[in-house]
Structure 1
């Protein structure tokens, strides 16, 4: 534990200072988007739709799966007046971008978990959007926006009406083929440049939060906990590569015996790592 604490203390020095924080940081993003008047236009700009109003907004919404399956904590979970659900994630780390597709699939499955009461028809299943705002190109095609729906391989004009849409925003992508409003939004996320009234509101909220000492203290406490989680296992002789392999496979709900084979960790080490992941997420 002393080793973990020492490494966490060293790593904490590299954390972005609260008074330098931007909306790209997921912690700041969640605080800003807890306000309905800022969250609603964000969704509208990304999806190109109009929403009557938001009835529910929760930052770091936890979904606990049944039995021993992996629970999740969403950056931002929103339900609008019509019952449509939105999960919005700010993603700066591109280390595991090849797993974003499967991650979004799992998020949808747990968002739907328990959504229908016994004997309730499938037609009552709510429409859902999973939105990842990435500060990198998740698919390497240079697009600013990637939208995915289930389509028929034999006839691409046939879309499966399952009510699920997954959107990945690339803040560094080509903005010529998207709306001006969305281009302004991702331009602000990428550079901090204010170009319209909405981005001005976002910037004012970010600046106000940065001046809140209490929020800064909460952020540092949160990051200290995260650092301890990230360094779990080093004092037990687990290599960085093996630990990361185990974390990725745990996040993708792989069988424990398979994780042990590929990561070379013992079952005890894997269970300890899984427990630490559950505590943080």
Structure 2
């Protein structure tokens, strides 16, 4: 199967979110990544789920996280690999929404707020999300009037820039960012990551799964695009636009527009 416009399986690296999820399924590879990014030590991970789905209630927007992790102490981590910089100005609000859905249902009825788990949202970006040249941006809720006062809401958001200045971060994190950026192996952990990536590239079963997954994603996007164009065409038909104008703006065929017009007449 060959799908135009997607990365070939034998060219996949840790930058690709699909490969990232597969590699980080392994606790022994996921745990050191979190420790290097946050500069902390974790006892152990009790739960690791790649592409975790959070379905929101009613008609609100659901999300699918790249990697959802809970450690032995109940701390939750959402880790996202982000290559597309076209949406970087929305990363802050996106992280806010991720936190809200991670917290959704976390407390049982009558359970105190003190039981709400500590959580981290981590975006590993292959671009500079804020244009300051830093390799790591960490955000907590700080009081505008007294910067030393931090709101203890248990939420920390971290944005990693793999192309940023690595002089102000730990050597371990710098090595990790170097591997993500260039594929250079500089320590034992990046060697383990590289070996896992190469192992997966040689797995024909995983290649088939990847191609099937991408085919499904592209078909779903095409279907959503088609449905959106049909909705637009229906609105234009109701407003009296001629068929040629509708075809120009929606890219639908004359046959499709004619069928939509006929469906409107049947309704009325």
TM-score, reference length from structure 2? 0.83
Write the distance in 1 (CA, Å) between the matches of 2:70 and 2:123: 17
Q: Which residue of the other structure, out of 125, 138, 150, is the alignment partner of 1:159?
A: 150
Which structure has more relative contact order (CA 8 Å, sep 6+)? It is: 1
Structure 2: state its 5+ residue gaps.
233-248, 251-268
> How many residues in Structure 1 have an aligned counterpart in Structure 2?
233
Write the distance in 1 (CA, Å) between the matches of 2:91 and 2:37: 18
Q: CA deviation at 1:237?
A: 8.5
Residues 87-136 of structure 1, C-alpha deviations (whole Å, 9 max, x = no match): 00000011111111011000000000010111111000000000000000
* Equivalent residue, structure 2, for 1:86: 77
* Equivalent residue, structure 1, for 2:21: 30
Task: Give matches, 1:59-70, under 5 Å.
Answer: 59-70=50-61
Q: Which residue of the other structure, out of 113, 119, 130, is the alignment partner of 2:104?
A: 113
* Other structure's SS at 1:59 match: strand
Write the distance in 2 (CA, Å) between the matches of 1:217 and 1:209: 12
Q: Which residue of the other structure, out of 43, 46, 54, is the alignment partner of 1:55?
A: 46
* Equivalent residue, structure 1, for 2:197: 206
Change over 3 Å in CA distance of 1:31–1:237 after alignment to 2: closer
Structure 1: state its 5+ residue gaps.
1-8, 243-263, 266-281
* Equivalent residue, structure 1, for 2:32: 41
Write the distance in 1 (CA, Å) between the matches of 2:227 and 2:71: 47
* Other structure's SS at 2:80 match: strand
* Equivalent residue, structure 1, for 2:264: none
Write the distance in 1 (CA, Å) between the matches of 2:69 and 2:102: 11
Q: From the CA coordinates, give the structure whose radius of gyration is larger.
A: 2
Q: CA deviation at 1:43?
A: 0.0
Q: CA deviation at 1:234?
A: 5.3
Change over 3 Å in CA distance of 1:208–1:121 after alignment to 2: same
- Cα RMSD of the aligned pairs, angstroms, is 1.9
Q: Which residue of the other structure, out of 93, 101, 104, is the alignment partner of 1:102?
A: 93
